Amino acid sequence: MPAGASALEMVLTGDPGLYSIVGLSLYVSLSAVALAAIVGFPLGAFLALVRFPGRGPLVVVINAFMGLPPVVVGLAVFLLLSRSGPLGFLGILFTPRAMIFAQALLVLPIIVALARQTIEDLWAEYRDELTAMGIGPAGRVATLLWDGRFSLVTTLLAGFGRAAAEVGTVMIVGGNIDGFTRMMTTAIALETSKGDLPLAIGLGLVLITLVIGVNAIAWGVRRVGELRAG
């Protein structure tokens, strides 16, 4: 990033450094949320529909994990992916893949917990009707996920908000490598440490604008979807 440039200037002049950072931020955080959703939605549905011993404590733990400290998740994933760690042979530490993986772990409890709540509420409404129609367990999960899709969008947004805003995991497992693993939040941390507070704040505003943009798109999709499918 050119020294002395303001964030506004960089946005207006299409600074390639800024745009690659923005692109990476979106790519990593959206991928992480997608990955967490692929695993977390069925898991949340499972927790909502199936009663088994230890389910209560598990739900409490997952709810608590919504507030996992990013640094701790980052450190755990770092130790896992480090060459000296159990998954070191993958060689993905300090890459965007590692950041996606770490953020997905961070976001997973949010997705599972909120999806469980949404689906449990929906299940209370649908139980008799689906049972009367003879729908099996897999069909129930699919139906509830699909019919809960508009509420589940909010779940995704909560996950995205958390991923896009955090610096702890991506700093540790990504390494903040210029042009490769530098994201909005780690760039902001770096500019702060360089004492360029106006640029840091400017980048912060860009990040907030991005998050608002993603939320606005999701809201629009939800509105249109609800109008068309109720």
Residues that bind another protein (CB under 8 A): 3, 34-35, 38-39, 41-42, 46, 82-85, 88, 90-97, 100-101, 125-126, 128-129, 131-135, 138-139, 141-143, 146-147, 149-150, 175-178, 180-181, 190, 192-197, 227-230
Q: Closer CB to another protein, residue 110 or residue 141?
A: 141
Rounded to a whole number of angstroms, the minimum distance from the CB of residue 188 to another protein is 12
Rounded to a whole number of angstroms, the minimum distance from the CB of residue 150 to another protein is 8
Q: Closer CB to another protein, residue 140 or residue 162?
A: 140
- Which candidate, 138, 149, 125, 147, places its Cα nearest to that of 37? 149
What string of H, E and C letters represents the secondary structure of the chain?
CCCCCCHHHHHHHCCHHHHHHHHHHHHHHHHHHHHHHHHHHHHHHHHHHCCCCCHHHHHHHHHHHCCCCHHHHHHHHHHHHCCCCCCHHHCCCCCHHHHHHHHHHHHHHHHHHHHHHHHHHHHHHHHHHHHHCCCCHHHHHHHHHHHCHHHHHHHHHHHHHHHHHCCHHHHHHHCCCCCCCCCHHHHHHHHHHCCCHHHHHHHHHHHHHHHHHHHHHHHHHHHHHHHHHC
Angstrom distance (rounded) from CA 187 to CA 18: 9
Q: Closer CB to another protein, residue 194 or residue 205?
A: 194
Rounded to a whole number of angstroms, the minimum distance from the CB of residue 5 to another protein is 12
Rounded to a whole number of angstroms, the minimum distance from the CB of residue 212 to another protein is 27
Rounded to a whole number of angstroms, the minimum distance from the CB of residue 148 to another protein is 8
Q: Closer CB to another protein, residue 35 or residue 214?
A: 35
Rounded to a whole number of angstroms, the minimum distance from the CB of residue 61 to another protein is 21
Q: Closer CB to another protein, residue 213 or residue 225?
A: 225
Q: Closer CB to another protein, residue 64 or residue 194?
A: 194
